[in-house]
Amino acid sequence: METTSFTYKTGPCSDVLIIGGGLAGMYSALAAAESGAAVRILCKSKTGGSGNSVVAMSVHRFAPDAPGLREDYRRRFLASGAGQQDAEIAAFFVDHAAAAMERLRGLGLPLEYRTLSENGGEYPYLACCSPKQGRILTKAVREKLNEYPNITVEDGVTVCDILTENGRAQGVLALCGGEMRVYPAKTLILCCGGAGNVYAATSNTHDVTGDGYAMAARCGLPLRGMEFVQFYPYRIYSPKRADIFPDLFDHGAVLRNEKGERFMDCAKYPMKELENRDVVARAEFAEKEVRLDLSGCDKAYLERECPNIARMARDNPDKPLLIRPVAHFFMGGVPLRTDCSTDVAGLYACGEVTGGLHGANRLAGSALTETVVFGAIAGKNAAEYAAADADTPETAAAAGRVLSTYPELGTDPLRDLRDDLRETMQKDASVIRTKEGMEQALGEIDKIKAALCERRPASLAKWNELRNMLLTAEGVTRAALERKESLGAHCRAD
């Protein structure tokens, strides 16, 4: 690979620099701003208008603040993780989520809270928008950012690398409008989501490419549990794409195979379509075709809770609603701590980019709650770290080292390499895995890496995404190859 000496401009120094514009990033920004920090959000797409937060269902499930209900949730949460959670992190999340969700009420967001009963009292256990669309929530949180003059939002900025010196985060190197920029910062928060686009079939938006995992790895952070990738079994891919709210199966919806059989209705699956997601995904994977049958569904519930699916069914009366499991959520990542710190001083992390909370599988509805709990903690602690730090970030030497590894630009779109990687991961490292398949995947990843080194990319942003996808894909596959038993979302056929 030919390299070049890129020039760069240096932006203003921030107290807290946030990498990512989803819910975790925005909640972090609000908490840091409340603490008086000068906050800057860098988002490669659009803050509050891109990423998985926008296409999520806005559902927050959490442990109610009542002893019996809380312990019931704890049992289910720990069972879902299959013994792979960080015990301290899991306990902290269960015990603090209700209070965090109650504080969220103060923001005046369009969330409706639902309750369960215990000993005559009513305790919130779920919050969601109506209808259950993530964009309703992200739009409202984005508007909240405008109320804080100490929050600056920069969209269309691709953060390429975290700059470190002497074991401490100093800022980031980013691509903005075709030019390189260095953004110095006293503290950083890494919260740029997962990596669904490593796979050919995913529920993730196109901009979710494993950037956070790769940046963390390049600055020396370990990653844990990368073999645990959740494949969402409730995804319609034809005639249009849409996620199904799982509660729909509590109101008459069923899954059928190409023969019309309800394949989840047997002794093997006592909870039928509402088995854990990994179980449903594997059952679907074994079928030639899977269809969503709404003929017995409560029509009022369908129209109220899933209007997009109701409309899809009405508009396509002669077409089946076809379903397949798709890459959805990465349980692994940067080891999460209760204070959201990392092994790199001044670098914090929260959201899907972290690992340890969910273990081998994620309980439905916990991802957005995670952003509320740990986003606030990351923002507050990063602001406090910055306030106690009088040193000026040193970025020049680190920026020079990193830029020396970047390629000479040319005209190659790299599309073939990206497609090859995604198809390889889909075929050999997705729902069902084998030693032979994963070894083939690693061999193909090596070939793509070698090819990338020989190419002259037309776009540095596309080159950056592809190298991030390759590093993440390799991490997933190696971790999956090392774990020889099936556990949670990780299933070995051999």
* Alpha helices (runs of H) in 171-271, residue ranges in sequence order: 211-218
Dist. CA 333–CA 428, nearest whole Å: 21
Dist. CA 216–CA 455, nearest whole Å: 25
Dist. CA 433–CA 438, nearest whole Å: 7
Q: Hey, what amino acid is at 8?
A: Y
- Strand segments, DSSP code E, in 29-108 are 39-43, 60-61
Residue with tokens 């020049």: 396
Which pairing describes strands 151-155 and 334-335: parallel, antiparallel, or unpaired? unpaired
Cβ atoms of residues 230 and 353 within 8 Å: no
Query: HEC profile for 422-442?
Result: HHHHHHHCCCCECHHHHHHHH
Query: Is 362 tagged catalytic?
Result: no
Q: How far is CA 418 from CA 118, 195, 482, in A?
A: 52, 13, 25
Tally: H helices and E strands in the chain: 14, 20
Cβ atoms of residues 379 and 141 within 8 Å: no
Question: Greatest CA separation found in the chain?
Answer: 71
Cβ atoms of residues 447 and 400 within 8 Å: no
Dist. CA 212–CA 191, nearest whole Å: 7
Cβ atoms of residues 398 and 118 within 8 Å: no
Closest CA to 58 of 116, 96, 113: 113
**3-state SS class at 162:** strand
Q: Single out the catalytic residue among 70, 142, 235, 277.
A: 277
Cβ atoms of residues 85 and 53 within 8 Å: no
Q: Which residues are catalytic?
A: 277
